[in-house]
Structure 1
Amino acid sequence: MQNLTKETINATGFDLIKSKLSTLSNCDINIEYFKRLMPVKTLVELTEHLILSDKIYQLIIKENDVDIIKLSNLTNIILKLNIKGSYLSENEFEKLYNLLKVNLKIEKILSHFNIKIWKKLQKAKSNKKWIKLIEEKLDESFNIKSNASKKLLKLHKQKKLIEKNIDIKMNEHYENAKKKNWLQNENISWINERSVLPFKVSLKNKIQGIVHQHSASGKTAFIEPIEIVKLNNAKNQNEFDIYVEKKKILIELTICFNKIYTKIESINSFVNKYDRHLAIAKYAYQTNSIKPTFINDNTIKIKNSINPLIKDHTEPIPLNFEMSRNTDICIISGPNTGGKTVVLKSIGLYAIMAQCGIFIPADYFQIPFFDNVLSDIGDNQSIESGLSTFSSHMMNIKNIIDFTTSKSLILLDEIGTGTDPNSSMAIAQSILEEFSTKKMKLITTTHLINLKDWAARTKNVENAMMKFNKKNYSPTYEFLSGSPGSSYAIEILEKMKFEDKIVNRAKSLIGSETIKLDKLIDNIEKKESETELNNQRIKLKLKQLELESKKISNKEDKLNEKILEMEHNWGLDSYKYLNDVKKKIEKIIEKIRTENASKESIKNAQDTINKELTKSSEKINLKNKKSAISIQKNEIKIGKEFLVKSLNLTGFVESDLGTDDKLFLNISGKRIKVHYSDLCKAQKDKKKQNNKLHSKFEISNISSNKIDLRGLNVEDATFELDKFIDSAYMNNLVNIKIIHGTGTGALQKGIHSYLKKHKNIKKFNFAPLENGGYGATEITLF
């Protein structure tokens, strides 16, 4: 994209976005970078730019610490490192130290999360030895340590000794002068950073020394004893020696970094780049934004976007805007203060932000890669040039026509206004006809009726409108494409209670054709509102039918359970009866034995009885099998309970159905492979539901792999989500989707916080832009 004009930057509010990014940057050099920020030149460069920001954005969303400390501009410091004979000061080493520490932190972040695209950009890494070099010579306040060298340590010891001697000798002179009453007052004074004694002027010759000053009254002479003079001179020499040694230490330390000058320069460049993308990512997080999508089909699609410049001031109405590949010009009409210009500015702002690599506050954002954004918005009257508002607009539009290409985005506010109405209509249509030959994307606002009519009759031109609430005569700020909007000027006069004769006269002056057209537009709006209302009613009916269907299905399931329970009880009664018969027969056999019957006759009697019992048992099993409800393959889900007919035992499914139509069941802790045809729906004995797996899970069949949690608070949403994940897991689903919307971001953050702790979650991330973007999360289960 070519460089934007100052007028377009200010009209769209992009200057405010740049200012916000400047405040979010941590590197001083990037404050100026964002002030000069302009769109990226090529789509390839922009794509990489967006990916780099998105990598950091994803880490911020997951509440990872990726921020860095404030860093000064190191440009001059790096230049000094490359100049022979120069050395860095303690303050400059502090700035260099902070740079190396920040680079080390970034390195750890990239390594921990394995962000390959960023790791490739980090050409030079912070060697811990470099950091240690600075730490060995400078303390935490970045002053040279007293033990930075042996000589410096010795000099500091000498300094303490000299200062101690000064204190001792000064006190001796003071006590002596005080005892002999030579002092004007009883305080040791400080003049020019030297300790002096306040002698009476008449007695100043009582001691050898230097008179530094007299009092204003002339009665006091401030004298530094000669012995103290010598000690102070020794102290000054010591301090100079310390300064020389410190300078030597800084020079030697600077030489160490001279050798790695190019690496320091690379680190500085990398950290500044990271900070720029970090600022963009932080702003995206603050505004709940998404990464823009660029495609080549010349389509603009914006879903539920909220202009970040108005978000903090009012309760904004989300913008939903679409311009198909076949639409070159969109003409927005509607009432004054209805939001037409806000839509115009918002689209221009989004286009510029997107091509600067800044994320967009929307649920979905798709736009072509423009070579320029040209605008004529606001009052361009120029007193200096002697141009009227109309002339200024026309001059600007002429320049826009000259610079427009098929890849330009043009934004025109109230085209043609500022002169007489007839000329306005003719000029506006003529200009738009010229633009239409260039096949660019143009969005304009208007109140001119002829433009609405021209749009309705012209290919590749589309009407759009801002909705208006006729009940209270106020705008709704909702954008609607496909239809023109009325200005509602007469209706607003009536609401303001103008006299009827004024309103009626205005209507007569407008003309019948204009009134008819306004009524036609009004009828179209009513029809569209009715259609929307009907659609909402249909959706409500469908939901009600779905609920009724579920109720019927639940009743059917309960009926089947009752049948199974009855059949099971019948089987238990039958077995009880057989066992009673067996006991009676065994008593008969015991009686035969006590009466000395032969062993052979007893054995024959037992065989006969067992045969009869087996036949009876088989008949019971056969009836159970016939009464059992068969199952279909699609009913087999992991975790579901079935009855194995051949074993007359229940078990829980542990595997999917194999190619041989067999599967594994867990029956009383044992893994058994059976054919699916041997399965039927389990008979539930409510008195014996002791299976641990069943008591732990309440498995439900789910008809979809996604759940919509919008409208719920975080607590209710996580409760519903917990049940959904359990059901999905036990129904052998691997990939599921959560719809949480964007909103304030609280629900999304709460859900992501819950997912991080869930033991069955393998991974999760936001959905692709075409599937909901940051309004939905896709999950992979273990």
Structure 2
Amino acid sequence: MKIPQLGFERIVEELSKLTTSSIGKKLAEEITPQTDLHSIQYKLEKVTEMRQILDTEKQFPIRGVKDITSSLKKAKVVGGMVLTEDFLEIVRTLQATRAIKIFFKNASPKFPKLQNQVRDLFPIPELEKEILKIVDEITGTVKDSASQKLQKLRNQIRTEQNRIRSKIAGILSKMQSEGFTDAENFVLRDEKLVIPLKTEFKRKLAGAVVDYSQTGSTVFVEPLETIEISNTVRRLLIEEKAEVEKILIELTGFVRREIPTLASNLELLAELDFIFAKGRLSQKLKGNAPFLTQEKNFHLREARHPILALRDYDSVVPLDLELTEKNVTLIITGPNAGGKTVALKTIGLCALMVQSGLHVPVYEKSIFPIFDKIFVEIGDSQSIENDLSTFSSHVSHLKEIYEEFSEKSLILIDEIMSGTDPNEGSALSMSLLESFTKTRAFTVGTTHHGSLKAFAYETEGIQNGSMEFDEENLQPTYRFRAGIPGSSYAFEIAKRFGFAESVVERAKDFVGEDKVSLENLISELNNKLKATSDTKRELEIKLSEQKAFLNLYKQRSEKLAQEKKIIKQKAAEESAKILADANSAVELAIKEIREKKADKEVVKQAREIVEEQKQKVNKILKETKKKDEIIPSVRPLELGSTVKIKTTGLVGKIVSEPNSKGKVIVETDFSKITIKLTDLEGIKPPKVQKVVSVKVNRTSDTKYSSELDIRGFYADDAYPAVDKFLYLALEKGLKNVTIIHGKGTGALKNKVADYLKTHPCVRSARFGNWDEGSGGTTIVEIS
């Protein structure tokens, strides 16, 4: 499916640039669309994972991979020799292999497809180490330490070369002093160190003439004194070369043993580089993998033309378009340069890219079917090659499509049957589109033929569509509208470009009143649709804002609930410790009272111990209790709300409705203040504590009878009263006391009974007899 009209080769070119290796680039250049849904889905999932890596990780270690295919071919031959620069390419590839393996080993298991890909990627650290032991990674030469013989030869070479330099420097100095040369340094010619002499003095130096200058005024002489040393150096260099070759042949043997693994790694690395390039292309396109389906459903949402998106994503108007089992054919109408052809190319190019395993610039919930073939007939001046198609070639191409299409094909036709008589062209278009529709092939065509609008409206399986046009400014908006036919706006555009009013009005007479009425109706419908669309967009924005506020409220509510839970847990832990300490103190006091038979001084000391524990408890409670608790509510402040003034901290109540300036009157303990609602903070109203009254009836100087009336109390308020009453009775030395709680529902009676079972001051407790208040009282025996 190579379709030059869609610009797929431009995408391939961009993809190739994003690879890091020649082997990855080759795969990119050979990319072709596939037709197997599961294979395409798997490829898209790998690109999605690579995109996640590129978006979240600092770097993916693919760089450094080299095409070592030729080196492996050399190594395959026994006795073959891989060159040092080739060995370094093998090292770079091995290093990339190791880095990628480590990357996925350390990555969380959120890249299952790619991790499965690298499962068969095997680093060879031994080979990597062996090569770097022999070849210098910086200079690319065999190291002196590669063998003892090589090190000895190179030492000898350096020694002899130094001897040559020393001797020739002395000879040059002598020639300079005698005026035989103007040269400041000796030079290298034909790999020999020589002295430049004036030609007329060439016999002044015993040696061999190696070369002449271009002018012939200078002769280059190798001194006789250095020739013998130079011959020694050349012999040593030959021996060195032989030793280096021997070392490299031996090292090549190491590579030969790993050829299967290296070849397999290379294939996997090429594929990873290819996927890496796809991921980078996805980033540039802000692309997504759409949902693939085998159903008859093609739904583009927020689709942008990929080539235009690469240039300037934000300036491209997105396309929303749908083809279904019910409506398989779409006819797009509208003015020239309104975006019809771009819409066609967007549809076709996105389909091609998806079936090639590439992300496309669409909303991720777009739906793509898999096409067996994609047919495109775009031959106007807007085509990529700028070919001017004739009607004959247009018909010829349509004939080829008709002969080859199937129900699984996608057919895109720009300006169907244009360039001929409008009536005949329309008739041919209807017949062809009807055939495509009956076969259920997805078809999108653009046209200026007015009769095709009515044909689409009347024919089952075919729908109208148009590109929106701003009539006020006579400018295209490039927005697609489904179900609404478009107008060519020829008369309006003619007026804008200065056509005489009389010419335009006369033209309307020629087309007839029905045609003008139809165009006016379409124009009016378009204006109403535009107004409705604008309103819809505003409502969607408001709805989005409300959803955002709701989510924020939910998040804050959850956070408050979590904090409340933590505070409660901490309070429970502290309460348990406080109660344990207090009970220990009380039990100790009671024990002393019992052991010392309630001596008054002992009772007093015990009372002081208990009071000390109470003071500790009260101190902790004061430190942890909040002065004011903000009401976590989204409801506005209203008349009667208890509030705190943010600037002063004063607490009061709102006693008036807001005035025209949004101010209310707040009544505090000190005064009434007029203040803005925004300067107030809602708080819980202060809780009114019930005053606990303990009544002790003194009957004589030595005996006391007592009672406590808690009727009307809630259990939480009754507990502190009962507690205080019992300790007072203990201090006074009372043996029995009465608690009056009333009968009622029995809830308070039962809770008090449960509370007394664990109280340290209570020896026993029972409900009163008939003459003691019956079930409305509890008689307590003090420990």
- One of 679, 702, 726 as aligned partner of 1:599: 702
SS of the aligned residue for 2:448 comes to: coil
- One of 101, 106, 110 as aligned partner of 1:107: 101
Which residue in 1 is equivalent to 2:223?
Answer: 225
- Is this contact kept in 1: 2:66–2:92, CA < 8 A? no
Is 1:88 the counterpart of 2:82? The answer is yes
SS of the aligned residue for 2:146 comes to: coil
Residues 385-441 of structure 1 deviation map (CA, whole Å, 9 limit, x = unaligned) = x99610010101111111101110010000010112122111211221222232110
1:535 Cα deviation (Å)?
A: 4.1
Which residue in 2 is equivalent to 1:263?
Answer: 261
Distance 1:176 1:343, change over 3 A: closer
- Is this contact kept in 2: 1:210–1:225, CA < 8 A? yes
- Is this contact kept in 2: 1:404–1:438, CA < 8 A? no
Residues 603-646 of structure 1 deviation map (CA, whole Å, 9 limit, x = unaligned) = 32xx23xx24x45766994899xxxxxxxxxxxxxxxxxxxx99
Which residue in 1 is equivalent to 2:32?
Answer: 38
Residues 561-619 of structure 1 deviation map (CA, whole Å, 9 limit, x = unaligned) = 989989854325x34xx3xxx5xx78x97xx9xxxx5322xx32xx23xx24x457669
- Is this contact kept in 2: 1:328–1:439, CA < 8 A? yes
Is 1:553 the counterpart of 2:635? The answer is yes
Distance 1:150 1:545, change over 3 A: closer
Is 1:570 the counterpart of 2:705? The answer is no
Distance 1:247 1:515, change over 3 A: same
- Is this contact kept in 1: 2:72–2:256, CA < 8 A? no
- TM-score, normalised relative to structure 1: 0.69
SS of the aligned residue for 2:330 comes to: strand
State the one-letter code of the partner of 1:599: T
1:348 Cα deviation (Å)?
A: 0.4
State the one-letter code of the partner of 1:267: N
SS of the aligned residue for 2:478 comes to: strand
State the one-letter code of the partner of 1:36: E
Is 1:12 the counterpart of 2:6? The answer is yes
Query: Which moves more between the two structures, 221-230 or 404-413?
Result: 221-230
Matches within 5 A, 1:430-469: 430-469=431-470
Is 1:253 the counterpart of 2:251? The answer is yes
State the one-letter code of the partner of 2:156: Q
1:33 Cα deviation (Å)?
A: 2.8
Which residue in 1 is equivalent to 2:509?
Answer: 508
- Is this contact kept in 2: 1:302–1:362, CA < 8 A? yes
Aligned-partner Cα distance in 1 for 2:25–2:547: 56
Distance 1:534 1:138, change over 3 A: closer
Q: What count of residue pairs does the alignment treat as equivalent?
A: 594
Residues 677-726 of structure 1 deviation map (CA, whole Å, 9 limit, x = unaligned) = xxxxxxxxxxxxxxxxxxxxxxxxxxxxxxxxxxxxxxxxxxxxxxxxxx
Distance 1:205 1:567, change over 3 A: closer
State the one-letter code of the partner of 1:489: A
State the one-letter code of the partner of 1:48: Y
State the one-letter code of the partner of 1:128: P
Query: Which moves more between the two structures, 526-535 or 464-473?
Result: 526-535
Query: Which moves more between the two structures, 188-197 or 546-555?
Result: 546-555
SS of the aligned residue for 1:335 comes to: coil
SS of the aligned residue for 1:278 comes to: helix
Residues 436-459 of structure 1 deviation map (CA, whole Å, 9 limit, x = unaligned) = 232110001011111111110011
1:372 Cα deviation (Å)?
A: 1.0
- Is this contact kept in 2: 1:355–1:369, CA < 8 A? yes
State the one-letter code of the partner of 1:26: T
Distance 1:546 1:366, change over 3 A: closer
Aligned-partner Cα distance in 2 for 1:548–1:346: 36
Residues 197-250 of structure 1 deviation map (CA, whole Å, 9 limit, x = unaligned) = 456777766664323346788887643232310100111111111111111111
State the one-letter code of the partner of 1:362: V
Matches within 5 A, 1:34-183: 34-113=28-107, 114=109, 115-122=111-118, 123-141=120-138, 142-174=140-172, 181=178, 183=180
- Is this contact kept in 1: 2:373–2:409, CA < 8 A? yes
- Is this contact kept in 1: 2:378–2:414, CA < 8 A? yes
Which residue in 2 is equivalent to 1:319?
Answer: 319
1:522 Cα deviation (Å)?
A: 2.0
Distance 1:396 1:570, change over 3 A: same
- Is this contact kept in 1: 2:380–2:389, CA < 8 A? no
SS of the aligned residue for 2:440 comes to: coil
Which residue in 1 is equivalent to 2:232?
Answer: 234
Query: Which moves more between the two structures, 419-428 or 163-172?
Result: 163-172
Is 1:337 the counterpart of 2:337? The answer is yes
- One of 1, 4, 19 as aligned partner of 1:25: 19
- Is this contact kept in 1: 2:212–2:218, CA < 8 A? yes
SS of the aligned residue for 2:193 comes to: strand
Matches within 5 A, 1:291-306: 291-306=289-304
1:273 Cα deviation (Å)?
A: 0.2
SS of the aligned residue for 2:60 comes to: coil
Distance 1:516 1:201, change over 3 A: closer
Is 1:210 the counterpart of 2:215? The answer is no
State the one-letter code of the partner of 1:439: R
- Is this contact kept in 2: 1:69–1:102, CA < 8 A? yes
Residues 225-278 of structure 1 deviation map (CA, whole Å, 9 limit, x = unaligned) = 323101001111111111111111111111101111111100100000000011
- Is this contact kept in 1: 2:328–2:442, CA < 8 A? yes
Distance 1:358 1:172, change over 3 A: same
1:303 Cα deviation (Å)?
A: 1.4
- Is this contact kept in 2: 1:188–1:195, CA < 8 A? no
SS of the aligned residue for 2:635 comes to: helix
1:148 Cα deviation (Å)?
A: 1.2
State the one-letter code of the partner of 1:553: R
1:346 Cα deviation (Å)?
A: 0.4
Aligned-partner Cα distance in 2 for 1:213–1:528: 91
Which residue in 1 is equivalent to 2:415?
Answer: 414
Aligned-partner Cα distance in 1 for 2:379–2:505: 32
Aligned-partner Cα distance in 2 for 1:177–1:202: 13
Aligned-partner Cα distance in 2 for 1:52–1:557: 61
- Is this contact kept in 2: 1:299–1:367, CA < 8 A? yes
Distance 1:80 1:557, change over 3 A: farther
SS of the aligned residue for 1:147 comes to: helix
1:523 Cα deviation (Å)?
A: 2.9
- TM-score, normalised relative to structure 2: 0.69
State the one-letter code of the partner of 1:507: K
Query: Which moves more between the two structures, 230-239 or 165-174?
Result: 165-174
Aligned-partner Cα distance in 2 for 1:543–1:186: 85
- Is this contact kept in 1: 2:12–2:29, CA < 8 A? yes
SS of the aligned residue for 1:125 comes to: coil
Matches within 5 A, 1:326-725: 326-363=326-363, 364-379=365-380, 389-535=390-536, 553-555=635-637, 559=641, 569-571=687-689, 574-575=691-692, 578=693, 598-600=701-703, 603-604=704-705, 607-608=706-707, 611-612=708-709, 614-615=710-711, 621=717
- One of 291, 308, 311 as aligned partner of 1:310: 308
SS of the aligned residue for 1:375 comes to: strand
Task: Name the Cα RMSD after superposition.
Answer: 3.6
Aligned-partner Cα distance in 1 for 2:718–2:198: 133
Distance 1:558 1:19, change over 3 A: farther
Aligned-partner Cα distance in 2 for 1:268–1:571: 82
1:464 Cα deviation (Å)?
A: 0.5
Which residue in 1 is equivalent to 2:278?
Answer: 280
Aligned-partner Cα distance in 1 for 2:382–2:337: 21
Distance 1:218 1:78, change over 3 A: closer
Aligned-partner Cα distance in 1 for 2:467–2:382: 27
**Structure 2 unmatched ranges of 5 or more:** 554-632, 644-652, 655-681, 721-746, 749-783
| Greater Rg by CA | 2
Distance 1:218 1:334, change over 3 A: closer
Aligned-partner Cα distance in 1 for 2:324–2:35: 24
1:170 Cα deviation (Å)?
A: 2.5
Distance 1:623 1:343, change over 3 A: farther
Aligned-partner Cα distance in 2 for 1:51–1:546: 31
